Amino acid sequence: MSHDLLQNIWFVLIGVLLTGYAILDGFDLGAGVLLPLVARSDRERRTVFQAIGPFWDGNEVWLLTGGGALFAAFPHVYATVFSGFYLALMLVLFALIVRAVSFEFRSRVESPRWRAVWDGVLCAGSLVPALLLGVAVGNVLRGVPLTPAMEYAGTFFTLLNPFSLLVGLTGLSMFVTHGAIYLLNKTNGAVAERAGRWASRSWLALLILTIATGVAAWFDAPARFQGKPAVIWALPAAVLALMAWTRILLAQGKPGRAFLASSLTIAGLMALFGAACYPYLLPARNAVDIAGYQGLSIYNASASPLTLQTMLIIALIGVPIMLVYTAYIYHVFRGKVVLEEEGY
């Protein structure tokens, strides 16, 4: 394979891995955020824990794999992102760690106060990544200040600009909607009823924020849309159509199909993000030349052809195994949650 082809394959592959993470871990992050809103008694909170407990750790494998793929295929991007976004990434990682601990520690002590603390940890540990991952997407979309050596030239607060915060809220509403629909599928009774109401509310918030983000992107990051093929203009229409389909299926009482539509909506949003940024993985906001936006692209920040080809062989072996494992876990734990004495 040519170097150009390998670089493009890895751009798509990393996008697929991150999309898989957004869809799979997205619903358990959203469910965690919704915990205090849909579950009021200890039994109801245990139901939410049980609904996401078998899946959360496997879902996070997609993020680890995506990060590993970025390190192997585009090491310059990995170095710049992890040095420039260090504090934000540490906050995300810390939140994910304490969130994982909540699953293990919640039922260790028969104390309402003890369990309330870990319930709060799950909620906060889900909220922080759901928000900050969207903020990161917003910064990549608009571009970040880079030095001529392609090093990040801003601070942590540079990342907290209005546009990126708007994208962060959009991502948060996307995860909450996805999580609410998931809980509607996996639970019964009062939890499912409240999840259904929150699915409708968060869907409306997602619709408004998505449109607002699109308008803001047109004015704040216009270079992302210049010189793009005509197909990119079909993606926003497809995303809005999928969002409408999700709402229609919810109104028809078809939560399973609504979850599929919500998953496709997330995939559509990720595809739109990738198409807008291509071929850049980390655009530079402060440097423009006659060729357009500068920054770290798949062409100037990739590994050698041998590395890309070797890692592609490994990916062609490893990714199918990950897919089979994921499918098996979801098959084993299919159906509604049945709460037992043992467990979370």
Cross-strand partners of 318: none
Residue located via tokens 């997205």: 26
Nearest to 56 by CA among 122, 146, 110: 122
Is 66 a domain residue?
yes
The alpha helices in 85-188, defined as continuous H runs, are: 86-105, 112-142, 162-186
Is 308 a domain residue?
yes
Q: Rounded to whole angstroms, how far apart are CA atoms 174 and 15?
A: 18
Average pLDDT score over residue span 114-135: 94
Look at residue 262 and tell me whether its pLDDT is greater than 70.
yes
Sign of CA dihedral 14, 19, 24, 26: positive
Sequence-ordered strand ranges (E) for 24-100: none
Indicate the helix (H) or strand (E) that contains 80. helix 75-84
Is 339 a domain residue?
no
Is 344 a domain residue?
no
Q: What is the pLDDT of residues 9-52, one digit of tens each?
A: 999 999 999 999 999 999 999 999 999 999 999 999 999 999 99
Is 338 a domain residue?
no
- CA angle in degrees (0–180, nearest 5) for 81-84-85: 75
Region of 304 on the Ramachandran plot (φ > 0 left; ψ -120 to 50 alpha; else beta): beta
Look at residue 229 and tell me whether its pLDDT is greater than 50.
yes
Average pLDDT score over residue span 296-310: 92
Confidence of residue 283 (pLDDT cuts 50, 70, 90): confident
Is 27 a domain residue?
yes
Average pLDDT score over residue span 62-86: 90
Look at residue 233 in the predicted model and tell me its pLDDT: 76
Residue located via tokens 């708007």: 166
Structural domains counted in the chain: 1
Is 173 a domain residue?
yes
Cross-strand partners of 144: 284
- Per the structure, the complete domain to which residue 260 belongs is given by 3-332
Is 342 a domain residue?
no
Look at residue 341 in the predicted model and tell me its pLDDT: 65
Peptide bond into 279 cis (omega under 30): yes
Residues 6 or more apart from 164 whose CB is under 8 A from it?
A: 135, 136, 137, 138, 139, 142
